[in-house]
Structure 1
Amino acid sequence: MARIALKIDVDTLRGTREGVAALVSMLRQMQAHATFLFSLGPDHTGWAMRRVFRPGFLKKVSRTSVVEHYGIKTLLYGTLLPGPDIGRRAADEMRAVQAAGFEVGIHCWDHVYWQDNVRGRDRAWTDAQMQKAFDRFVEIFGAAPATHGAAGWQMNGHGLETIERWGMRYASDGRGDTPYHPIVAGRTLNHVQMPTTLPTLDELIGIDGVDAGNVDAALLARTDGCATDQIFTLHAELEGQKLAPVFRRLLEGWQRQGHQLVSMAEYYAALDLRALPARPFAWGEIPGRSGELMVQP
């Protein structure tokens, strides 16, 4: 069959401390590989409640039980409670992931601040946010990161150029169908964007009769007999906690289908770089998710 790269976004302090360890244990039991992408600065999850007036946001929140998955305390960070510094308070948990043999990379500095602002910001703002994350990653792991996956699939052209300056060979910052070289301001960049290709569990739950009891079957139906490589994004706050039984069933199903569960590094190593297309940076909508994201046109 095909490779399915598992990309794990870690958004919060709770996800880093609780969800990550659960995922590491499960993946090792299943002999599956994955890439963990960390939020490295303050946890301001509570700021996300300001999205309440955005089209589709309330509908998505009602479908995915945000309070149940994230917890009241996390949802107060940045509002009634100060936002804790994830990289300072959970560095040991992050290093333990690498020590367990998993690839690690950058998700962001401040998840909500990045996600809500990056589209309209200039190069100076973008570089400052990304450099904070880069420096903290080096502080924690003692080496430069190999990859990057933007928070909420929110990115801008300046950010893609920063990844290029860092010398990263691959990243997964948006959504799409196939790996490609991004084009920014008429220039084709050398690094490869490997977009998330499969829908996330929270994008499927609550639509067309899909719930936590059958969402794994809905996703497995999309990969059954599929010979095309895929990237699946999961979250430490969901699949590492309340949706852990669902994710285990999904892993077991993919293995029954014959798919190889790999990290982003392994996915990249298998690519024929000469055959990859070049595509311009673009925004677009994804079913089941509110607002626009970085997409592959």
Structure 2
Amino acid sequence: MDKIDKKILSALLENARLPLKQIAKKANVSKEVASYRIKQLIKKRIIKEFITLINTEALGFSRYACFFQLNTTEEKEFLEYLKDHEFITYVGITVGKWNVVFDILAKSREHCNEIIKDILSFVEDNLESYIVIPAAYEQEVYPAKLIGLKKINTVRPKINKQCDDLDFKILSMLTQNARIEYATLAKKIHLSGNAIKQRIKALQGIIQGYTISINWRALNLEWYNVQIKIKKETALKEFLREHAKVLYFYHYLGHSWDMDIGVIAEDSLAFRSFLLELRKQSITIQDIYLIAEEIKGNYAPSGVFK
């Protein structure tokens, strides 16, 4: 991957719906070269998905993080169940205390309890232990660090808006492919191109942006998650924001750990080096696990649009 690829990836991380002409301009290449490079990045699985960032809170949903330890003999069926579930978003298989982590989007605690009961019924006696915790009250994500760029977390506006059935259809299709063309949307939803553009414009705030999912494995990186207790918060966040290996942090309240930190590293020795730096930040490490594979991306599931 060269500088041109990085410029293209950077542009798509900022806005996956950016017109090809503007992507080419940012990368200082022709439209034809930009188009070819994007196709190659997809072919090499460096770009996994074009994602629309949906403010699910504004649609009445809350997020719950789930950590499960299962009997691995039944893991394959369980992963398929989670992947197809209409209220489950990100799903990852891990190495460590937990072997499956995933997020639930639910309309209420009662709704979340119903989903958990269904999940427990599915796994039956194959579950060894699990934890479900409400969403982080604070989070920052730095995907550009995957390609060696440092960019601060973008705080996106949140609004409350009533959506009708056509809005939900548009949101659902954008979630499946953030670069879908207006003409394709218009044809499938039976509206004019201008009507589609106006509706998408009116949905800004619920639509918080467009980005891409980058395959860390295709870049020969490993992805670790570190769960910590915080003794002194003062300098910690700045350390995480500035560190080239920190991909995100999620800050929780009232649990056995205060924060999840996502870390990318070339190998276990590079990760160990990061841990030595982290330990200087007045924290206690509670747990560590390796993300072995991402089964389902972190995008709004189908149940959100019903």
TM-score by structure 1 length? 0.26
TM-score by structure 2 length? 0.25
Larger fraction in strand: 2
